[in-house]
């Protein structure tokens, strides 16, 4: 995403050994991550072509959906996923339209944060951030910090009210000027929107034809249509838990005060570029970019 009219991507910086170790610990603690081939099956299909920004003329290189199968019963019975899914219909899709947050929606936000903070992956992130002086040690204060980072509303489009927040942009997705898709970097939302006929997967966006993604890859660059608009290229983790993404990007966000942050780290078998844009004390956008996997350069 080129958020907030920023046209230049942040320069990449290699993550420190300490930060790389912490990010890998988060990965290994993500026990709620779904297993490819067992809990879900994806079909990457063809490589999508070039689409100009703002254009909705995209040749479909994928006749079938991206997700062939997802164990939805498992999603319903893992607490963080269950609370997460309830948040996905809480937002006005168009930027420039002020959000209205009900007391029920506020409670849903809190329940998700409460459940996420109880997981080992978030406890690890909290412990590290406290040690680095970036988060309060008190759990309630940490929850408030997470709320401000992910759920505090702000103005994304000039002239509108408080029309966006980090959670909405990253996990739910938005449309800008009724012309383009922005955000929507979450696989659960993608799957549910695809299931309901709102998302049309157009194909993967590997950098070269020979680099077709594997069905067990946990990071994917892709092109898709959403409610009549096309996102030329986006990227997302696949199969990971929502608490893992919140923990990972919260750490990257808090470990830098730059408006744009991009760190490269080897996490498990993946060399990833983790990109975060900030909007004051909140996340503007965040997403992973796969640089290499299983020793294959992309």
Residues with a catalytic annotation lie at 169, 185, 231
Widest Cα–Cα separation across the chain: 51
Question: What phi and psi, each to the nearest 5 degrees, are found at residue 55?
Answer: -90, 145
Torsion sign, CA atoms 58, 59, 63, 69:
negative
List alpha helices for 132-215, DSSP H: 139-150, 166-167, 187-195
Where residue 37 falls (left for φ over 0; alpha for ψ -120 to 50; beta otherwise) is left
Nearest-Å Rg of the Cα atoms of the chain is 18
Q: Are 181 and 175 in contact (CB under 8 A)?
A: yes
Which pair of structure tokens corresponds to residue 226? 């959403």
Q: Are 257 and 202 in contact (CB under 8 A)?
A: no
The torsion angle over the Cα atoms of residues 174, 168, 242 and 47, rounded to 10 degrees, is: 10
Query: Residue with structure tokens 């026990």?
Result: 31
Q: If you count them, how many residues does the chain have?
A: 298
Contacts of 176 (CB under 8 A, 6+ apart): 94, 95, 157, 182
């Amino acid at each position: 995403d080129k958020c907030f009219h920023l046209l230049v991507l942040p320069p990449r910086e290699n993550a420190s050994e300490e930060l790389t170790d912490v990010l890998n610990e988060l990965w290994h603690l993500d026990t709620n991550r779904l297993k490819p081939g067992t809990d879900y099956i994806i079909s990457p299909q063809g490589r999508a072509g070039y689409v100009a920004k703002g254009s909705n003329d995209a040749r479909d290189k994928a006749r079938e959906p991206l997700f062939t199968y997802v164990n939805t019963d498992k999603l319903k019975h893992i607490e963080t996923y269950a609370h997460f899914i309830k948040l996905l219909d809480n937002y006005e899709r168009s930027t420039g339209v002020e959000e209205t947050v009900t007391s029920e929606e506020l409670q849903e936000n809190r329940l998700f944060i409460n459940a996420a903070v109880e997981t080992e992956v978030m406890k690890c992130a909290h412990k590290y951030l406290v040690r680095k002086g970036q988060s309060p040690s008190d759990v309630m204060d940490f929850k408030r910090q997470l709320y401000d980072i992910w759920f505090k509303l702000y103005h994304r489009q000039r002239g509108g009210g408080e029309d966006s927040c980090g959670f909405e942009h990253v996990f739910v997705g938005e449309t800008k000027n009724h012309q383009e898709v922005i955000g929507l970097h979450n696989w659960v939302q993608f799957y549910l929107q695809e299931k309901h006929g709102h998302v049309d997967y157009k194909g993967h966006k590997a950098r070269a034809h020979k680099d077709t993604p594997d069905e067990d890859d946990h990071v994917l660059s892709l092109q898709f249509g959403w409610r009549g608009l096309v996102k030329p290229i986006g990227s997302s983790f696949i199969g990971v838990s929502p608490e893992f993404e919140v923990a990972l990007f919260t750490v990257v966000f808090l470990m830098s005060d730059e408006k744009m942050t991009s760190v490269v780290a080897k996490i498990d078998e993946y060399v990833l570029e983790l990109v975060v844009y900030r909007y004051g004390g909140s996340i503007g956008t965040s997403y992973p970019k796969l640089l290499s996997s299983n020793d294959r350069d992309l």
